Structure 1
Amino acid sequence: MSTTTLSPASVRAALDGDPAGTTTVLTPDDDGYEAARAIEPGGVEWRPAAIVRPVDAAGVARAVRFARDAGASVSVRAGGHSALGLGRDHGALTIDLRSLDSIEVDPDGRTAWAGGGLTAGAYARAVGEHGLVTPFGDTASVGIGGITLAGGLGLLARSHGLTIDSLTGAELVTADGEVVLVDEREPELLWALRGGGGNLGVVTRFRYALHELPTVVGGMLMVPATPESVAGMVEAAAAAPRELTAILTVMIAPPMPFVPAEWHGRGVIMANVCWSGDPETADAGLAPLRAVADRAGGAIVDMIRTGPYSGLLEEAPGGSIVATAGTFLADAVDGEAAAHALAELESSPAMMRAVQLRVLGGAVADVAPDATAYAHRDAGMVGYVMAAGPSAEAVAGYRPWVGALVERLRQRDGAYAAFVPDGDPALARSVYPGATWDRLAAVKRAYDPQNLFRANVNVPPR
């Protein structure tokens, strides 16, 4: 599909002041445009021809039909959180869903309907009032739309699965501007939404299953980073009962208030952990990780507490840094690989740099690889290498470093959609391998044959 660059005037003429008077249109000359196009945590440069902010599915459908008829591409902004710039497209029409932030909780039926612009933190707090959860990630400001459509790797992954494993239905605006209800009666479309990364349309509402979990034991444990402690933490997290999920970030400690001054600029492991079993058994479940910390000289910071799951979802740091990153799949990290990663982190000139390891298994692996569009069910972990700086020019110099470290740590083919830099088309087939690609492309052809929705990890229609 060829792309037409929209003129701001054409968008305003077509969409400003819709019949219901509910769609806001912002163009580059408008006050509020710069704020509306900002992406957390900052630094991603993009300039859509216009940003439209509907308040319901009908408004979204109207915007989609306009873009289709104009021959323009569509990008979708849900929570507005993407350090890598997914959901953006220069010169396109951006549909901003942040006004679609309602939530309806049915605690008796263990179901919630949530608007596509809601954030994970707002969702978790709302359902948490009833002692219930749906598994999301680890950041409160992330939109539920982006994380769900990518798969959803978070602090409940090993106990409750990916976010998509709790996705039971959706309200979707397709490329022809129709609003459709997706559930088990549309099995192929529901399959594709479970990990298909926004290729099929604009999800205006999601329906999730809810799980009883009034309290968890979790938080951050900061440990000195040595080859032995990195390998040991990975091994302990992988061998733990499924009630324990750990996200391990190996990094050079920044000068943050909670980090003791003597550790600023030194290698640490920030282990964000969540025990979702009986709180009385949490100490036993966490003991292997604490043992690794003790062997490394003791925990630097211990912020593990009992509380609601929503309390573990942190806000994004914000700011104007620019990041480059890469993703990989692995099953283990031995001492040699850990030593290499630490040496690279210590020598890199990047203002911020980190290797994050999301240890999986448990409920993630219970689901068959072909049951959803997220196919990497048997991977031991999803990894992420990041380097950040003050400008795009600075970050451009870090990309070879990121790429080399990713390849050194990679142990198997594959990638995670939410961590693919800028929707890199070269990695799309790694995200959706083999039969998954073919099946997703077939669904794409049925619902978006002109590839209107391509500001994503794109799967062209077959």
Structure 2
Amino acid sequence: MAVTTSPVDETAIGELKAEVRGPVLQPDDDGYDEARTVYNAMIDRHPGIIVRPTGAADVIAAVNFAREQDLLVAVKGGGHNVAGLAVCDDGLMIDLGLMSSVRVDPDARTARVGPGARLGDLDHETAPFGLVAPAGVVSITGVAGLSLGGGFGYLCRKHGMTVDNLLSVDLVTADGDLVHASEDDHPELFWGIRGGGGNFGIVTSFEFELHELEEVLAGLIIYPADEAHSVVRSWWEFISEAPDELSVWLNFSHAAPEPFISEEYHGERILSVIPIYSGNVEEGWDVIAPLREVGDPIADTVEPRRFVDWQQAFDESYPAGERYFWKSHNFKSPSVEALDHITDYAVSPPTPDTRVSVTHLGGAVNRVPSDATAYPHRDADFLVNITTRWHDSTQDDECIAWTREYFDVLAPHATGGTYVNFTTEPEGEQSMAYRENYERLVALKNEWDPDNLFKMNQNIKPTS
């Protein structure tokens, strides 16, 4: 399919404006720059047209317009994708931000969520009912992108990935049809959506299963960098026997001037061990007791908290509008050498704002067969996400080179798969991300999008 880089005929744009209810923006219009802006400041692209749908009918009209005009299409949910795939140069950007409704059915324990909703919107609506959706850990993350790539958070060991809690979707296909996909309707398409990204269409509604939870036992156990190697080794020994109710994440960062951290450590590199226990709080104290006895922490903030509050704990640590370059690896039964390599780089980043997070997996995540959903990484014990962050474009080369080097050093110790939501650039073939599910996804792409209209994603290329 050809891609138009010259302006579309104004008559055609006028017809599009007449057909949709939401705004249709061009470069000189108010709101254009705000709509094209995404999370990563390294991304500065300029679509020829931006459509901001208010409902599925507008999405259908936008898809039909793009297909008929041979336009490159980018789809923005929350705009949080670090690779900037939500925006394109010259073509058509479909910004779903106005479709952000969340409707909770507390009796059925389900939520119907629009594709423009953020995790904070979802948490805000479920919390009054004492319910939660297993999702991510930063409030500004878009529900759509997180869910379509797999999705994990503090509850994944107990309740599975976000895709494991997805009951159904409504989706606009490349032909402009609105289809419902679930285990009963278009089950193969539903399989592909759960981890296959936005390759098969634009989801206009997600239905999630919810779970009861109001309070967790959570907080930070903080260590200076010179204790990091021994603490990481102890962490691995501890989590190997952890119950599903417990997730223990790691986060390497520079210490902020928080009152619970001694001033002598402000601005210094630290390791935060982050337990989150979602079972009975009193029992949780006993479960995490051995973890709190490791080493000589400089702070311990573990206490009972509302889960909805803890979901926002790291929002300020991953702000929008900074320069980012991310890479990730999955690990299973790591060697001491692998743990030491993870720590070596994590305590010596190129910038103070760079974070390295270690996501505790296993539990319910790994009890799902690798071919049950398109998301295939069901054997990993944890994931390392290298979140390199800086301010000045003069640091681009240094920061990108360091991240790539770190990724390459870890590669021989990792499982050989990457997480599509944490990918700034292609890690080689997309088969690395989808592993044994890749060919099945290609067959789905051939069926639902043979001309590859939806290519601004971690693209699964059709063979037709």
Q: What is the TM-score with the length of structure 1 in the denominator? A: 0.92
| SS across alignment from 1:355 | strand
Rounded Cα–Cα distance in structure 1 between residues aligned with 2:176 and 2:400: 39
Whole-Å Cα distance in 1 between the matches of residues 352 and 297 of structure 2? Answer: 27
Preserved contact between residue 255 and residue 270 of structure 2 (Cα < 8 Å): yes
Separation in 2, partners of 1:270, 1:17 = 54
2:85 maps to 1:86? yes
Any gaps of 5 or more consecutive residues in structure 1? none
The 8 Å contact of residues 124 and 310 in structure 1, kept in 2 or not, is answered as: no
Query: Shift in Å at residue 431 of structure 1?
Result: 0.7
337-346 vs 164-173, which moves further: 337-346
Q: CA deviation at 1:393?
A: 4.1
Q: Distance in 1 between matches of 2:336 and 2:258?
A: 28
1:278-297 matches, cutoff 5 A? 278-292=280-294, 295=295, 297=296
- TM-aligned CA deviation for residue 409 of structure 1: 2.4
The aligned runs of 1:348-427 (5 Å cut-off) are: 348-410=349-411, 411-422=414-425, 424=426, 426-427=428-429
Cα deviation 1:92-142 (Å, max 9, x = unaligned): 211111111112211111222111111111111211211111100101111
Q: For residues 300-319 of structure 1, what are the structure 2 equivalents within 5 Å?
A: 300-302=299-301, 304-309=303-308, 311-314=310-313, 315=315, 317-318=318-319
Quote the offset at 1:350 in angstroms.
2.7
Deviation by residue 1:286-323 (Cα, 9 ceiling, x = unmatched): 2232122xx1x124251543213454234354353211
Query: Which segment drifts farther, 436-445 or 332-341?
Result: 332-341
Q: How far apart are the structure 2 equivalents of 1:58 and 1:40? A: 27
Q: Distance in 2 between matches of 1:260 and 1:91?
A: 51
For 1:71, the equivalent position in structure 2 comes to 70
Within 5 A, what are the aligned runs for 1:95-106?
A: 95-106=94-105
Name the structure 2 match of 1:261: 263
Deviation at 1:256, TM superposition (A): 6.2
The two structures, once aligned, show a CA RMSD in angstroms of 2.2
1:275 pairs, out of 270, 274, 277, with 277
Find the counterpart in structure 2 of residue 55 from structure 1: 54
What residue number does 2:451 align with? 450
Cα deviation code 1:37-71 (max 9, x no counterpart): 22236443222222210100010010011001111
Shift of 1:430: 1.0
Q: Report if the CA contact (8 A) 1:330-1:409 is conserved.
A: no
Give how far 1:32 is off.
1.6
* Counterpart position of 1:131: 130
Cα distance in 1 for residues equivalent to 2:221 and 2:6: 49
Structure 2 letter corresponding to 1:195: G
CA distance in 2, matches of 1:243, 1:265: 33
Answer with 318-327 or 307-316: which moved more.
307-316
Amino acid at match of 1:98: G
Alignment partners' CA distance in 2, 1:285 and 1:419: 31
Q: What residue identity is the alignment partner of 1:449?
A: P
CA contact (8 A) 2:36 2:87 kept: no
With over 3 angstroms needed to count, the CA separation of the structure-2 counterparts of 1:310 and 1:151, relative to structure 1, is: farther
Structure 1 CA distance for aligned equivalents of residues 118 and 343 of structure 2 = 34
Residues 169-220 of structure 1: CA distance to partner in whole angstroms, max 9, x if unpaired? 0010111111111112211011001111111111010011111223222233
Conserved? CA contact 2:270–2:347, under 8 Å? no
Task: Decide whether the 8 Å contact of 2:40 with 2:324 is kept in 1.
Answer: no
Whole-Å separation in 1 of the counterparts to 2:344 and 2:307: 37
Q: Distance in 1 between matches of 2:278 and 2:359?
A: 16
Q: CA deviation at 1:332?
A: 4.6
Q: Report what 1:242 is aligned to.
A: 244
Instruction: Tell me whether 380-389 or 370-379 shows the greater mean CA deviation.
Output: 380-389
> Structure 1 residue 12: deviation in Å?
3.6
How many Å separate the matches in 2 of 1:458 and 1:28?
27
SS in 2 for 1:289: helix
Structure 1 pair 257/349, CA: closer, same or farther in 2 (3 Å)? farther
Q: What stretches of structure 2 of length at least 5 have no aligned partner?
A: none
Partner of 1:167: 166
Q: For 1:133-166, what per-residue CA distance to the aligned partner results, in whole angstroms no more than 9, with x for missing partners? A: 1100101111110100000011111011100001
- What's the CA shift string for 1:318-349, capped at 9, x where partnerless? 35321112111112555544444444345443
State the partner residue of 1:328.
329
* Paired position in structure 1 for 2:2: 2
Whether the 8 Å CA contact 1:375–1:433 is kept in 2: the answer is yes
Amino acid at match of 2:371: D
Structure 1 residues 310 and 460: alpha-carbon distance in aligned structure 2, compared to 1, 3 A threshold: farther
CA contact (8 A) 1:248 1:271 kept: yes
Name the aligned partner's letter for residue 432 of structure 2: S
Task: Letter of the 1:26 partner, please give it.
Answer: L
Contact in 2 for aligned 1:191/1:371 (Cα 8 Å): yes
> Does the 8 Å contact 1:50/1:93 carry over to 2?
yes
1:108–1:255: structure 2 CA closer, same or farther, 3 Å change rule? same
Deviates more, 1:301-310 or 1:118-127: 301-310
Letter paired with 1:89: C
Residue type at the aligned position of 2:406: L
Distance 2:363 2:236 in 1: 15
- Mark the CA change 1:288 to 1:7 in structure 2 (over 3 Å): closer, same or farther: farther
Moved more, 172-181 or 258-267: 258-267
Contact residue 231 and residue 334 of structure 1 kept, 8 A: no
Q: Which amino acid aligns with 2:204?
A: T
Q: May I ask how many residue pairs the two structures share in their alignment? A: 455
Distance of 1:68 and 1:445 partners within structure 2: 16
The whole-number CA distance in structure 1 between the counterparts of 2:304 and 2:9 is 53
Partner of 1:198: 198
Distance 1:233 1:189 in 2: 39
Shifted more, 224-233 versus 96-105: the winner is 224-233
